[in-house]
Amino acid sequence: MLIVPPVVSSTAPETNLKSVAKNDALRSVSFPSTGDENRAATAIVYCEANFGDIDGKTANGLIRRSEKYKILSVIDSEKAGLDTGMVLDNKPNAIPICRNLADALAQAGAVPDFFIFGMAPSSGMLSKHERGLVLEAISHGMNIVNGLHEFLNDDPVFAAACLASNVEIIDVRRPRDKKDLHLFSGRIAEVTCPVIAVLGTDCAIGKRTTANILTSALNDVGIKTLMIGTGQTGLIQGARYGVALDAVPSQFCAGELEATVVKAFEIESPAVIVVEGQGALSHPAFSSTSFILRGCCPNGVVLQHAPRRGKRCDFDKMPMPTPASEINLIETFAETKIIGLTLNHEQMSDLEVSSAITQYEQELGIPVTDALTRPTERLVEMVLAAFPTLKGRRAANA
């Protein structure tokens, strides 16, 4: 039975899901073989009643970007028959939404390699119905990717089912053994390239999506950039370096992130490191942001905000903070600076996005953009304005 820690490390993007090279800071992760070294592993993603919504963020992220898996379909009976790209970004991508597992299997034409649980419920646990569905997927011969706090490898029912069907479960959030965890050491000072954290004013607000787009945009102009994943979805998508911070004992969170960033810097020699944010520093339900600020000691922060979100996600009696108040809190808490604001355009028209960009730029005096609806060049300009020495790297690699 495979038990996988939420740490991924490799010197090249994973395309065939084979074992990742082992090193002294990050334990290797092995994935079930597809039987064909040149074929990407296929997967269907379960996201019943949540695709395109906040709790469907894992499925949403996989549709927008997946280095590990070829996503064949998403299961959500409420949106069955629609195109996933149209639902998310109004751009068709030919990945369908299916009514149920039987529908997804019929449309796939063959049993996919993986069944991915694509939701992030606040409970972090499977419901009785979902347990039955995962067991059904196993019975068909599909490996399971589980990003919840509930580790299915520890459940004797799932263990027996995997043994009977000769498949494996990847518990993405499982932390490494305590003897292998790192305390903060101060070695983050050895990282000499800019480290940029993408933080937010709330949870499930688009930090990972913006971090991915920012990373790609910088790489596209010749500035070698790595993204460090800090949550289950980023790791499932294929982040080459990362750790699911909310599954690590708090004493080790800063040290685990520091060790990951240092190792990535030593192996890859990037010009920029982007660190995915979690939660919000001002949010009382989450502590991950504080560990991110302590562990990676970012030189700059990009802040993500949803102007139309009036209340905290899942906390309807908690009003959202303003970008100005979150900026003040972050810059008071850590020795860093906010280099730009990015917007989540939920419930906003394009005209409203443009108006918000103008308003926040005047109010805050920093660059503002929407990573999904505005040219990615604006993200590049945001970084170059904060770190002008990178302009030479861009010119040299253009």
Domains recognised in the chain with CATH numbers = 41-171 (3.40.50.720), 180-397 (3.40.50.300)
Which among 96, 127, 130, 95 has a CA at the least distance from the CA of 115?
130
In terms of C-beta density within 10 A (0-12 exposed, 13-18 middle, 19 or more buried), how is residue 333 classed?
A: middle
Lowest model confidence (mean pLDDT) among 24-38, 121-135, 263-277, 337-351:
24-38
Task: Give mean pLDDT, residues 173-183.
Answer: 93
Does residue 67 carry a pLDDT above 80?
Answer: yes
Confidence of residue 196 (pLDDT cuts 50, 70, 90): very high
Confidence of residue 124 (pLDDT cuts 50, 70, 90): confident
Sort residue 297 into left (φ over 0), alpha (ψ -120 to 50) or beta: left
Does residue 178 carry a pLDDT above 70?
Answer: yes
The dihedral built from the CA positions of residue 384, 388, 393 and 394, taken in this order, carries a sign that is: positive
The reported pLDDT for the residue numbered 125 is: 87
Does residue 34 carry a pLDDT above 70?
Answer: no
- How do residues 74-111 score in pLDDT, each as one tens digit? 999 999 999 999 999 999 999 999 999 999 999 999 99
Question: CA-to-CA distance for 366 and 380, rounded, in angstroms?
Answer: 14
Name the DSSP letter for residue 56.
G
Which among 324, 303, 302, 321 has a CA at the least distance from the CA of 312?
321
38-to-2, 15, 20, 261, 366 alpha-carbon distances in Å: 23, 8, 16, 30, 45
Which among 18, 25, 4, 88 has a CA at the least distance from the CA of 265?
25
Radius of gyration of the chain (CA): 20
The reported pLDDT for the residue numbered 30 is: 43
Does residue 251 carry a pLDDT above 60?
Answer: yes
Question: CA-to-CA distance for 387 and 382, rounded, in angstroms?
Answer: 9
Task: Give mean pLDDT, residues 261-285.
Answer: 98
Residues 6+ apart with CB under 8 A from 157: 131, 135
What percent of the chain has pLDDT above 70?
89
Name the DSSP letter for residue 52.
T
Does residue 354 carry a pLDDT above 60?
Answer: yes
Task: Give mean pLDDT, residues 180-199.
Answer: 98
- How do residues 282-310 score in pLDDT, each as one tens digit? 999 999 999 999 999 999 999 999 999 99
Task: Give mean pLDDT, residues 362-368.
Answer: 98
* Alpha helical stretches, state H, 175-301: 207-220, 232-237, 250-268, 288-296
